[in-house]
Structures are given as C-alpha cells and as structure tokens.
Chains A and B, each alone.
Chain A
Amino acid sequence: MDQIIIELISLTKKYGSFTAVDNLNLTIRKGEIFGLLGPNGAGKSTTILMMLGLTDPTSGSVKVSDINSTTNPLEVKRRVGYLPEDVGFYDNYTGLENLLYTASLNSMPLSTAKHEAEHLLEKVGLGNEKVKKAGKYSRGMRQRLGLADVLIKNPEVIILDEPTLGIDPKGVEEFLKLIVTLSREEGRTVLLSSHHLHQVQEICDRIGLFVGGRLIAEGDIQSLSQKLFSEEPFKIEAGINLSSQKGADLSEENSINHTLVNSLKAVSGVINVEPVDNVLHIGCTRDVTEEIVRTIVGSGTGITFLNKKEYGLNDIYNRYFEGVENHE
C-alpha cells in the first residue's frame, strides 16, 4: 500500500514579493493520515488550495493520484473531499438538503444520494438533527456536517483545513476520533492542517512542520523531535573558569579543556560537548546534570554557572510556532 497519492514537487506560490509557499516537496502515501502543522500564515491553506486546483502555483506542480491539479482540477476535485477552514452551509436549508446539494453537484442520482446522506448523517451523529436548518447548527455540529459533506462524494483523499478550530476540547477529541474511524474504515488518505500540535499528534501517522512557507521537518513525532533537536532532548550549559589556574598559557588551557571535554564525553548519556569560549554546551539524552558537575569539579575547573535546558513538544512550539507569530 505504499502507493503515492499526493505529490508536491518544488511547489512555490508568490503573492507579489511575498512568498507564501517556498519550494515545497512532499509526498503522501495512500491510506496515511498526514498532519500539516504550522503557525497561522505559514502557507498551509495556500498549499491545500493548490492541491485542489483552486489557486494556481507560481511554479512547481501538484499531483493527486497522478492527476495534475493545476491543469485538470475537475478530475482531482472528483477524488478529493475538502473541508475548508470555518466551513459554511446554506442557512435556510436543512443539513440533509445541504448534503443533497453537494451530492447532486457530484452528479449523484437523487435516490442514491438520499440514502447515502441519511446514512452519513447517522454516522457523524447528526441523525436527529437532519431536518434542522443548518443556520441553527452549532459550531461543532457544522463541523460534523462538513465531514459528512466531504464523505458523501466517496473521496479517495480527504483534506481538512483546521478541522479543530473553534471546537471545545472534548469535541475536538470526538471529532478527530470520528475522522480516524471514518477514514480507516475505507482506507482513505487524510491530510489535515492545524496549528494545534497537541491536538492532532495522536491521530497522525506522519507530521510535516510548516513554517514560513517551508517544510522544515517531516516524519512521525519521534523522528520529528529527534530530527529537530539532533537527538539531544537535554542540553546543559556550564560556564567554567579557566583563569583560576594562574600561569597557564594558551596551549595548556586548551589541553585542560581537551581532557575535560573527553572526560565529559565519557559520562554515559552525554552525546556531544562543545566548548565555546568559557561555556561548555553539553548535549545529553537524559538528565545527567549531577555527573557532569562532579566531572567538572573533579577536573579542578571552577564552575561559574550551570544552566539546564529541556526540550519537548513545548519547545517545538516555542521554537517554531509562537516565535513566528510574535514576529508578525
């Protein structure tokens, strides 16, 4: 099943001098649930619009199941179900009528469409609300109706743009579970974009981190954090005082440094030691601060300060998401 279903090749989109999507390469395999994560304004929606052929790329190409989205958007849209961010429905129509309209736009005969629509409404939990006007739906209900609207055309690929936006945490969990069950049942490929790493990390097979129009990393959560922090989930900064050893010349200083570095590297859990001026940057797989202090003190070097850094999901956030938003 390692068939490639979505393929983006050096995709670029420029609005005037602003580059929304910058030379993006990405492949998504059939049956996968892929999360496109990034802060607001990172170019996620633009990428999705280009996949559907709703926006033309400046350069590069998009292929969905081997069909070019730019030159043949109709065939692509026949296979792809798209739930836009903050989806809207015709308020004076009932949920069922809204679904039937979508079905008829997909050239489905009315009797089949009606059967299918009622079945889907039942599935997404709107069975009792189907004769209610869509204008009276709550945000979460609208989102679920949106999912039914996407599924009624029986798509091979489902693209969801910010599906969890504006729903309460419990609703998010339910909604994501619904997406997983409904897509796994029929082996559909799902691509969803979000700026909530925490919400979607559990359901995604793979994640692409998207910042400033560029894909900076992709893979599952483990490989992602490994890649992002070069296998150093912990980082310790230690300031050492070399000048305490009076009379030591430069070469001697270096040799002391070397022995210290080597002895630090020997500590289990330490991966990398990098001396910069009077500060040692020590990367380690787990918290081994105690041993490091002991080693440094044992070597006869003075410690001026010690700073412990810990990386996790929150740091992915700080580093890539919130940082960008603050700059805006």
Chain B
Amino acid sequence: MSNTSNNIQRIERPNRTGIFRLSGNSFAMRRYRTGERVIHPFRVIVNKEMSDQIRSWRFIILLSLIALTCLASVYTGLSGIGAKMKSADSGNPFFFLLLFTTSDGTLPPFFVFVSFLGPLLGISLGFDAINSEQSRGTLSRVLAQPIHRDYIINAKFLAALNIISVMFFSLGFLVMGAGLILTGIPPTPEEFLRVVFFILISILYVSFWLNLSILFSVRFRQPATSALAGIAIWLFFTVFYNIIVSLIARAATPSATASAQQVAGYQEMILNMLRILPSQLYSDATTTLLVPTVRSLGPLTMDQIVGTIPGPLPFGQSLLLVWPQITGLIAATILCFVLSYISFMKKEIRSR
C-alpha cells in the first residue's frame, strides 16, 4: 500500500563530490531536512580512515622516526654544504639541491633515508587494511550499508596516499625552509621543481609498498602474517636480491679477452637485473633529478661521450632520462593495486 510512494525515484541535488544520489526511499525524504549538507559515503570512509591512521600509535611512531631522520639529514646536508662551500664546487648552480644529496659522511643523505624507510612506512600503513576489518567483524557490517564494495579498498588506499603525500610534502618543504634560513641561499625555480618531483617520486615509491601490503592484507587473514610477508619482500629486495645478482655477475664475468660489445652487454644485463628492484628504480630516478650532472643511468661508450660538454642537464632532460624508471614504478604500483582490488572484489565476505 505504501509501496507506490517508495518506488518514486528522485534525483537529489548533487552533493559536494558532484555525484547524483538516486534515492528511492521515502523515509529519506520525509525525515531529512533539505538543504543540509550530506557528505558522500565514499568521503565519509576516506575521512574516517585518515583520522584512524593519524591517531594510531603506529603512525605517530613512524612520523617521529621519519621526522628525526629528516632532522639528521638536514644536519648532515648542512655540514656537507659547509665543506663544499669552501671548495671549488661553490660555482655549482644547483647549490640548493646539495642539501638533499650531500652528507658529511656520518649519516646518509635524505633521499637514501627515504629509500630505506619508505617501504617500512608503506607496509605499516597498509598491512592490516582489510584483514583487521574482517577479524574485528566490522567488514560485513559496513558492507551491508548502501555502499559499493570497492569503496572500502579505494578509500583505504586513498586515505593512506593522502597521509603519505601530506607527510612528504610537508617534510620536504620543511627541509627546504630550514636550508633557506640556515644557508641564506634561495632555491631557483628549477631546483624547486626538481625537489617537487623528487617528493612526487618518493610518494609513488611508498605507495608501491603500500599497495603491496594492502594486497597481502587481502590475501592473509592474520595481520601479523601480512606484515611479515611485506617485510620479508622488503628484506629480500634490499639484502638478498643484491647478493643473488652479484653471485650471477661473478659467474657470468666475461673473460679478459672479451670484446667491448660483450662487456657492454654484460654491464647491461647486470643493470637490468637490478632494475627489477623498486628501490633501484627509485634511487636511479631521484639521483638523476637531484643531481643534474647525471647524464646517463647506464654505461656510455666513448663515441657517445666524445664532444659532450660537461655540465648539468636541464630539468626536462633529466625527467626524460628517468621516465622509464617512473613508468616502471607506476606500473608496479598499479599492478599491486589491481591484484588487491580483484581479490578483494572476489573475496567471500563472511562475518569473522
């Protein structure tokens, strides 16, 4: 009897995200005053995830760890710059970038720190994304609300990505600001652009690890297992993979009488093996961007070098040089996300 009124479909005002909400519920119309702002459910989830992450102890620990690292690298960068300032290097037009790449030898520079701590950050933000919801019994309850299933995984990813972005941009700009105040040398627009791209690539690198750990959080029921799986892969890539590559390299060393082509091919092979590593891609990309004098990421023949004028590359050329690396990182990130998306969509939603 009241069914007719229920079946009247009404298109409501577009809300802030610009998505029309079709409402077939007469209760909704009767009870809700019009004109009051309603946040789209997807944004509700993203907001909640972000506030959950920020308030969690693990984020506070990671943030302080990375902030400390940042502080340390600013210190080493500044003392490194002090030494360089007196030397002949003072004519370097990219003086400001030295802040990110030099060190006085006691601690590694900023970008090395990021390549080391980035995976840890990514893994810890994502390793319990899905399985903790499931083990707490909240997943089936939330999915019984009128939302699409992929909202959950998209929101989890987006929330963590937002946090990483805000964190890296603010840290990067803080380092720049500190450098500006302490050295008194302002960055040129190109240097600024290079730093921004360095931050963007760092975010990309961390989001690769984030997606990998989200994938594990979908596959493994226990958060501990998925965290361990993520850390295992990280350790494998940072420690064991290099050992394996050097073993292969030793075995495949060309003889002393080998031709130049063979030696070049051998070098190329070793480099390609290393380029499977996301950390290798990341450090290749960031060094090229932060050290404009880097002209090539592979071996160059004498023919290629003859006639070159030693000097820094313009920004566009540096970016072009690392474009394959950036593409590789984006591809790896998307691959991990797609895999976790598919397995989450196919997942059987059971209570606990």
Q: Are A65 and B32 neighbours in the complex by a CB distance under 8 Å? A: no
- B142: contacting residue among A105, A107, A154, A161, CB under 8 A: A105
Residues of A within 8 A of B32 (CB): 108-109, 112
Q: Are B39 and A55 neighbours in the complex by a CB distance under 8 Å? A: no
Residues of A within 8 A of B41 (CB): 104-107
Residues of B within 8 A of A81 (CB): 144
Residues of A within 8 A of B40 (CB): 107
Query: Is B33 positioned at the interface, with any CB of A under 8 Å from its CB?
Result: yes
Q: Give CA–CA (A98, B294) in the complex, Å.
A: 54
How far in angstroms is the closest Cβ of chain B from A271?
Answer: 43
Chain B interface size band reads 35 or more
- A88: contacting residue among B23, B45, B148, B352, CB under 8 A: B352
Query: Is B180 positioned at the interface, with any CB of A under 8 Å from its CB?
Result: no
- A108: contacting residue among B1, B24, B38, B45, CB under 8 A: B38
Q: Report how many A-B pairs have Cβ atoms within 8 Å.
A: 107
Q: Are B349 and A55 neighbours in the complex by a CB distance under 8 Å? A: yes
Question: Which residue of A has the minimal Cβ distance to B37?
Answer: A109
| A interface residues, Cβ below 8 angstroms from B | 3, 45, 49, 52, 54-55, 65, 74-75, 77-92, 101-102, 104-112, 146, 149, 153-154, 161
* B127-140 Cβ-contact flags toward A at 8 Å (1 or 0): 00000000011101
Main secondary structure of the interface of B (DSSP, over half): loop
How far in angstroms is the closest Cβ of chain B from A94?
Answer: 14
Apart from A54-B144, A87-B351: 9 A-B pairs, beta carbons within 8 A: A79-B25, A82-B141, A82-B144, A83-B141, A88-B137, A104-B41, A104-B44, A105-B41, A105-B142
* B118-154 Cβ-contact flags toward A at 8 Å (1 or 0): 0000000000000000001110111111111000000
Q: Are A149 and B141 neighbours in the complex by a CB distance under 8 Å? A: yes
Q: Give CA–CA (A92, B147) in the complex, Å.
A: 23
Q: Are A154 and B31 neighbours in the complex by a CB distance under 8 Å? A: yes
| B interface residues, Cβ below 8 angstroms from A | 1, 3, 6, 21, 23-25, 27-28, 31-33, 36-41, 44-45, 48, 52, 55, 136-138, 140-148, 348-352
How far in angstroms is the closest Cβ of chain B from A51?
Answer: 10
Q: Are A78 and B349 neighbours in the complex by a CB distance under 8 Å? A: no
Q: Are B36 and A111 neighbours in the complex by a CB distance under 8 Å? A: yes
Question: Which residue of B has the minimal Cβ distance to A89?
Answer: B138
- A74: contacting residue among B45, B141, B148, CB under 8 A: B148
How far in angstroms is the closest Cβ of chain A from B236?
Answer: 34
Q: Are A101 and B44 neighbours in the complex by a CB distance under 8 Å? A: yes
Residues of A within 8 A of B348 (CB): 55
| In the complex with contacts A86-B352, A88-B137, A74-B146 CB distance below 8 A | yes
Q: Are A90 and B38 neighbours in the complex by a CB distance under 8 Å? A: no
